[in-house]
């Protein structure tokens, strides 16, 4: 059976790319512009980042007798794929967990559309190990073979949350950092895998006193906070927006996500500020204001408590 590393190497070698150095691949000039990057972590995860644009539609085919789990995030553009006769496309801003074996994939990229994506190709033994570690009930089994049931392809779609987007942006930034740490990249990749396995397979136990409908409303509350981190609604306003009472919102949010509403807002604000500073998109004052802090000193103090460094140090280090 073909190994995951071999599948990855053949994909770049047989398709439309030429290798530039150890981690980067150029799209062939007659086909389009842009690069793809690939690193392999210690546990065998292949982290791949595409930022490319085709001159014209350029369909191509890739076949493998191996098997893999692919965690995909589409950030811009689109690319339709037909895997063993089944159409698959991840819309912009969404993600998918795909399980594939003994497959033929036909890719149909669009023209003049910047295609940006991040994907994690995960070895099946690692996925199965995670499945066994995360499953609390002996009656629940979502290992690779059990989910595929002999099929060539199966996909689960999802919407990435704020924490996922922080990790995705961090991995992308790491590709452009000559001092990148493979250990830290692997940690981010494993956290992404853990987040979405829990989300897709409902592995987090439902807290007592909350219905499935309540859980859905709490996830909606989380999305509202992520979209309005600079000026979040009050607890009462958030409760009305989501159809929860005040008690269920406060109790349920902490039970489901491990943080109070206030703590969660602080976390996503600081995560976003860290991303702005690392990417050189803002100075310290601008980062503080962007995420909702009017007091830069208070922002700097909370930032130091979370990351162990001052915001100004991030600007100097990256």
The per-residue b/e assignment along 290-318, b for 16 or more CB within 10 angstroms, e otherwise, is bbbbeeeeebbebbeeebeeebeebeeee
Question: 13 and 144 in one domain?
Answer: yes
Residue 136 lies in a domain: yes
Residue 88 lies in a domain: yes
Residues 76, 82, 84, 86: what is their CA dihedral angle, to the nearest 10 degrees?
A: 100
Confirm whether pTM is higher than 0.75: no
Question: 164 and 238 in one domain?
Answer: no
Taking alpha carbons only, the member of 11, 54, 57 closest to residue 29 is 54
Q: What local confidence, expressed as pLDDT, does residue 50 receive?
A: 95
Kindly report, residue by residue over 46-71, the tens digit of the pLDDT.
Answer: 999 999 999 988 888 989 889 999 99
Q: What local confidence, expressed as pLDDT, does residue 136 receive?
A: 58
- Average predicted confidence (pLDDT) for the chain: 88
* pLDDT at 312 > cutoff 80: yes
Mean pLDDT for the stretch of residues 301-317: 86
Burial class (CB in 10 A: 0-12, 13-18, 19+), 137: exposed
Integer Cα distance of 223 and 171 in angstroms: 22
Q: What local confidence, expressed as pLDDT, does residue 126 receive?
A: 93
User: How many CB atoms neighbour CB 279 within 10 A?
Assistant: 14
* pLDDT at 142 > cutoff 90: no
State percent of the chain over pLDDT 90. 42
Question: In this structure, what token pair is assigned to residue 216?
Answer: 């859905």
Residue 279 lies in a domain: yes
Question: 62 and 128 in one domain?
Answer: yes
Integer Cα distance of 181 and 149 in angstroms: 37
Annotate the chain with three-state secondary structure: CCCHHHHHHHHHHHCCEEECCCCEEEECCCCEEEEEEEEECCCCCEEEEEEEEECCCCCEEEEEEEEEEEEEEEEECCEEEEECCEEECCCCCCEEEEEEEEEEEEEEECECCCEEEEEEEECHHHHHHHHHHHCCCCCCCCCHHHHHCCCCEEEEEECCCHHHHHHHHHHHHHHCCCCCCHHHHHHHHHHHHHHHHHHHCCCCCCCCCCCHHHHHHHHHHHHHHHHCCCCCCCHHHHHHHHCCCHHHHHHHHHHHHCCCHHHHHHHHHHHHHHHHHHCCCCCHHHHHHHCCCCCHHHHHHHHHHHHCCCHHHHHHHC
Task: Name the residue with higher pLDDT: 181 or 290.
Answer: 290
Question: In this structure, what token pair is assigned to residue 215?
Answer: 């859980």
Question: 130 and 8 in one domain?
Answer: yes
Integer Cα distance of 300 and 146 in angstroms: 49
Q: Are 20 and 26 in contact (CB under 8 A)?
A: yes
Q: What local confidence, expressed as pLDDT, does residue 204 receive?
A: 59
Q: Left (φ > 0), alpha (ψ -120 to 50) or beta: where does 45 sit?
A: beta
Integer Cα distance of 22 and 182 in angstroms: 14
Question: 219 and 307 in one domain?
Answer: yes
Q: Are 37 and 24 in contact (CB under 8 A)?
A: yes
* pLDDT at 137 > cutoff 60: no
Q: What local confidence, expressed as pLDDT, does residue 71 receive?
A: 95
Range(s) of the domain holding residue 278? 209-317
Mean pLDDT for the stretch of residues 4-12: 86
The CATH code of the domain that includes 279 is 1.10.10.60
Residue 57 lies in a domain: yes
Residue 111: pLDDT band (50, 70, 90) is: confident
Q: What local confidence, expressed as pLDDT, does residue 202 receive?
A: 64
Task: Name the residue with higher pLDDT: 49 or 31.
Answer: 49
Q: What local confidence, expressed as pLDDT, does residue 119 receive?
A: 95
Residue 44 lies in a domain: yes
Q: What local confidence, expressed as pLDDT, does residue 140 receive?
A: 62
* pLDDT at 122 > cutoff 90: yes
Integer Cα distance of 43 and 26 in angstroms: 26
Q: What local confidence, expressed as pLDDT, does residue 203 receive?
A: 57
Residue 193 lies in a domain: no
Residue 181 lies in a domain: no
Q: What local confidence, expressed as pLDDT, does residue 181 receive?
A: 86
Residue 166: pLDDT band (50, 70, 90) is: confident
Q: What local confidence, expressed as pLDDT, does residue 237 receive?
A: 94
Kindly report, residue by residue over 188-247, the tens digit of the pLDDT.
Answer: 999 999 888 877 776 556 677 888 788 888 988 988 998 899 999 999 999 999 999 999
Count of structural domains within the chain = 2
Name the residue with tokens 């219905």.
211
The CATH code of the domain that includes 51 is 2.60.120.10
Residue 118 lies in a domain: yes
CA 146, 214, 91, 122 torsion-angle sign? negative
């Amino acid at each position: 059976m073909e190994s995951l590393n071999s599948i990855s190497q053949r994909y770049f070698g047989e398709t439309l790319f030429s290798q530039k150095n150890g981690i980067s691949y150029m799209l062939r000039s007659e086909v389009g512009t842009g690069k793809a990057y690939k690193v392999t972590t210690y546990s065998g995860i292949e982290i791949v980042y595409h930022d490319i644009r085709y001159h014209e539609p350029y369909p191509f085919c890739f076949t493998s007798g191996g098997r893999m789990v692919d965690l995909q995030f589409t950030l811009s553009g689109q690319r339709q794929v037909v895997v063993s006769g089944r159409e698959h496309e991840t819309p912009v801003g969404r993600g998918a967990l795909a399980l594939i074996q003994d497959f033929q994939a036909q890719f149909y990229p669009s023209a003049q559309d910047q295609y940006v994506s991040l994907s994690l190709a995960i070895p099946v033994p690692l996925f199965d190990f995670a499945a066994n570690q995360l499953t609390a009930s002996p009656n629940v089994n979502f290992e690779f073979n059990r989910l595929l049931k002999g099929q060539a392809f199966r996909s689960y779609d999802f919407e990435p949350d704020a924490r996922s987007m922080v990790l995705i942006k961090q991995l992308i930034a790491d590709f452009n950092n000559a001092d990148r740490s493979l250990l830290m990249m692997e940690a981010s990749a494993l956290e992404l895998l853990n987040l979405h396995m829990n989300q897709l397979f409902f592995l987090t136990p439902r807290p007592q006193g909350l219905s499935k409908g309540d859980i859905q409303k709490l996830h909606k509350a989380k999305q509202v906070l992520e979209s309005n981190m600079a000026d979040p609604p009050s607890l009462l306003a958030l409760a009305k927006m989501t159809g929860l009472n005040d008690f269920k919102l406060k109790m349920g949010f902490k039970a489901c996500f491990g943080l109070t509403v206030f703590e969660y807002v602080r976390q996503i604000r600081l995560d976003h500020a860290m991303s702005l500073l690392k990417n050189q998109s803002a100075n310290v004052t601008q980062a503080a204001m962007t995420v909702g802090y009017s007091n830069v000193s208070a922002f700097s103090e909370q930032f130091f408590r979370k990351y162990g460094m001052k915001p100004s140090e991030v600007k100097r280090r990256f």
